[in-house]
Chains A and B, each alone.
Chain A
Amino acid sequence: MNIIWNYPLLTIVLSLFSGPLCMMLSAKAAKNYTIAYESVLVGMTGCVLGYTLKTGTAFTYTMGEFPAPWGNEIRAGCLEALIALLFAVVLLCSVTAGYHFVQKDIDESKINLYFSLLNLLTAALMAITWTNDVFTGYVFLEILTLVSCGILIVREIGRTTLAAVRYMILNLMGSGMFLMSVVLLYDISGHLLMVPMRQSLDEVARNPSSIPAISMAVGIMTIGIAIKSGLFPFYFWMPDTYGRATPTSGAVLSSLVSKAYIFLLFKIFYRAVGIEVIRKTPILMILFVLGICGMIVGSVSALRASNINRMIAFSSAAQIGYIYMGIGIGTVAGFAAAIFQILAHALTKSLLFVTSPYLAQVSGDSLRFKALQGSAQRDPLAGRMFTVGALSMIGIPIFAGFSAKLMFGQAVVLGGIKWKTLVVLAALGVSSVLNAIYFIRTLIRIFFEPDSQAKTSKRSRPVRDKSRKGYLLAGMVLTILNMFLGLFSWVISDVIYRGLGMFL
């Protein structure tokens, strides 16, 4: 047994230990520790990715050496490793880039608690990514929900508490449905581990009369996850939740937490229920339709937003729609495109969420578009970062967003179902145009300032302290990765296809 086999479990266990550890450290030590730890995490997940790519197979780590139907398992293939690596990188970048605002938004005595929450969040993300057991997935889903609520309310203003309560209520509904569905699936199949569950569901699904029961169980789970990740029509909580949190939290919640839920759904579709069984149910079609609606409605809502963070949050709703549309296409290429979109969106959205407060900072601490006019001139660095994010969101070539849209287009054309092709291409077109309208409008607003306003607006220079270097570094990393995804998309899509192959 190679030492790398232990890494997936170590990422979970070390994160769980880091949580309480940060509680005992001072604010600054907790921050330094978290950044150091996240870097180690990047290294470990990178090792697992390299190892699985080199050996070409996935490995299963049995806890306590209890074999398959009894023990709990962790499984690492290159897809899991890729997603875990993404989570680690984005976490590291968001923490580094947003630290300035963490200091500003959170009471000094509570900053270490914030970092301990972030470490617990990391543990939950890692566990959801690696686990091979549906019930373990549920437990860490709940932990993720609680911790995300925690990182929301650390910024103590009334609105964040209200946003957190609404977020929690929806999430609790989602978790309740997820649990119900886990129980039903356990009831039908007699297993909680994903692989034995799939084998036994395969057997059950041979009898056509059992399909309604299975689609009911999986359907409840899908709705639960859809609520939690903010698919249309459950997206209305997003702007308050993402937009009012401290920037690090906003970035982590929008780009990682919702993606972790979707990745769990992926695993359940592929590994626990089996994609052949899923194709016999109407679930994929429903996801397809809702995804398309989400793409359009999310973008229209973003168009009407009056505040930059609300706009970015609504655009998240649209991007989640893309992911579900990819799942709904139902072919392997569709799934691969959806995973690519997860990567592209996580890298882009975290950059946008940590950048917008820097723009606000030089505009009298207001996120309203009116105040932001000309802010990119006052803080050129943030302006450039925002431009990168915005161009990627619109889907300009050389950025990740373009490759993601291209992959969706290819997937649906290769899928060969005519009406689906038409619908997807039309929706991609409309959504891209809408994206372009609101992001380019924002770019114009932040780069140019009408002379009449220039005299009255509250100008201030960007605060230059140590954390600014962190922002520069993190922003550069996110930009480079974004462009890597855009320019060398085949490298990543190759890894995704190999990972999907290992999934079975």
Chain B
Amino acid sequence: MIRNLLNNYEEAAAVILFGIGFTTLLFNKNLIKKLIGMNIMDTGVFLLLASMGYIRGRKAPVIENGVTDASHYINPVPAGLVLTGIVVSVSVTAVMLALTVRLYKRYHTLDLDMIYVLSKHQKEDR
């Protein structure tokens, strides 16, 4: 068990990062910290992808010295997926930050529980 973990230390680290991020996103009250958690979570997934995609001793998939045999190169798809994932993560972060700014302007706090309590006192039922 321990040996398996040590052999696959990159994957283990990725899953631990995912867990940290996920729990922060779920349990932290502070909106900014929640966002940081989300980014850590995504980074964990990207680390997993990148470490899976890398094979020791092989090169990036750009033809070098006329070698066209696929066994000399790594699979480019995981890298592509990481890039796509980063783009998605950035745009999600941007939207969440915009929402956070809007909430802060209205309630002057970043504490989600506090905001919830404050919003209960408002009457705006249609």
A153 with B99, Cβ < 8 A, contacts A173-B25, A173-B26 known: yes
**A368 to B126 alpha-carbon distance, docked (Å):** 8
Q: What is the chain A residue whose CB lies nearest that of B34?
A: A169
Q: Is the CB of A139 within 8 A of B92?
A: no
Report whether over half of chain A's contact residues are helix, strand or loop; otherwise say mixed.
helix
From 158 to 199 in chain A, residues with beta carbon under 8 angstroms from any chain B beta carbon are 158-159, 161-162, 164-166, 168-169, 172-173, 175-177, 179-180, 183, 186-187, 192
Q: What is the chain B residue whose CB lies nearest that of A135?
A: B81
Shortest distance between the CB of A231 and any CB in chain B (Å): 17
Shortest distance between the CB of A111 and any CB in chain B (Å): 18
**A194 to B13 alpha-carbon distance, docked (Å):** 29
Q: Is the CB of B119 within 8 A of A162?
A: yes
Q: Is the CB of B116 within 8 A of A176?
A: no
A365 with B99, Cβ < 8 A, contacts A158-B107, A162-B115, A180-B45 known: no
Residues of chain A with a CB closer than 8 A to B74's CB: none
Q: Is the CB of A161 within 8 A of B81?
A: no
Report whether over half of chain B's contact residues are helix, strand or loop; otherwise say mixed.
helix
Residues of chain B with a CB closer than 8 A to A357's CB: 126
Shortest distance between the CB of A131 and any CB in chain B (Å): 14
* B20 on interface, CB distance cutoff 8 Å: no
A368 with B99, Cβ < 8 A, contacts A139-B88, A142-B88, A162-B115 known: no
**A159 to B31 alpha-carbon distance, docked (Å):** 16
Q: What is the chain B residue whose CB lies nearest that of A368?
A: B125
**A350 to B122 alpha-carbon distance, docked (Å):** 28
* A366 on interface, CB distance cutoff 8 Å: yes
* A307 on interface, CB distance cutoff 8 Å: yes
* B68 on interface, CB distance cutoff 8 Å: no
**A157 to B123 alpha-carbon distance, docked (Å):** 10
Residues of chain B with a CB closer than 8 A to A172's CB: 25, 38, 92, 96
In the complex, which range does the number of interface residues on chain A fall in? 35 or more
From 86 to 126 in chain B, residues with beta carbon under 8 angstroms from any chain A beta carbon are 88, 91-92, 95-96, 99-100, 102-103, 106-107, 112, 115-116, 119, 122, 124-126
Residues of chain A with a CB closer than 8 A to B49's CB: 183
Q: What is the chain B residue whose CB lies nearest that of A163?
A: B119
The answer, among B38, B107, B116, B124, for a CB contact under 8 Å with A157, is B124
Residues of chain A with a CB closer than 8 A to B92's CB: 142, 145-146, 172, 175
* A149 on interface, CB distance cutoff 8 Å: yes
* A367 on interface, CB distance cutoff 8 Å: yes
Residues of chain A with a CB closer than 8 A to B107's CB: 158
User: Interface 1/0s, chain A 128-157, versus B by CB < 8 A?
Assistant: 000000010001001001100110010001
Q: Is the CB of B84 within 8 A of A135?
A: yes
* A49 on interface, CB distance cutoff 8 Å: no
Q: Is the CB of B21 within 8 A of A176?
A: yes
Q: Is the CB of A158 within 8 A of B38?
A: no
* A225 on interface, CB distance cutoff 8 Å: no
Q: Is the CB of B52 within 8 A of A187?
A: yes
Residues of chain A with a CB closer than 8 A to B42's CB: 176, 179
* A500 on interface, CB distance cutoff 8 Å: no
* A260 on interface, CB distance cutoff 8 Å: no
**A177 to B44 alpha-carbon distance, docked (Å):** 11
The answer, among A158, A168, A186, A307, for a CB contact under 8 Å with B96, is A168
**A173 to B88 alpha-carbon distance, docked (Å):** 14
* A360 on interface, CB distance cutoff 8 Å: yes
* B61 on interface, CB distance cutoff 8 Å: no
User: Other CB < 8 Å A-B pairs besides A162-B115, A162-B119, A183-B49, 16 of them?
Assistant: A135-B81, A135-B84, A142-B92, A146-B95, A150-B95, A157-B124, A158-B107, A158-B122, A161-B102, A169-B26, A172-B25, A173-B25, A176-B18, A176-B45, A179-B45, A183-B52
23 A/B residue pairs, CB under 8 Å, sorted by A? A135-B81, A135-B84, A139-B88, A142-B88, A142-B92, A145-B92, A146-B92, A153-B102, A159-B124, A162-B115, A172-B25, A172-B92, A173-B25, A175-B92, A176-B18, A176-B45, A180-B45, A183-B81, A186-B81, A187-B52, A192-B77, A367-B125, A367-B126
Per CB-CB distance, the 5 closest pairs between chain A and chain B, nearest first, are: A142-B88, A176-B41, A158-B106, A157-B124, A187-B52
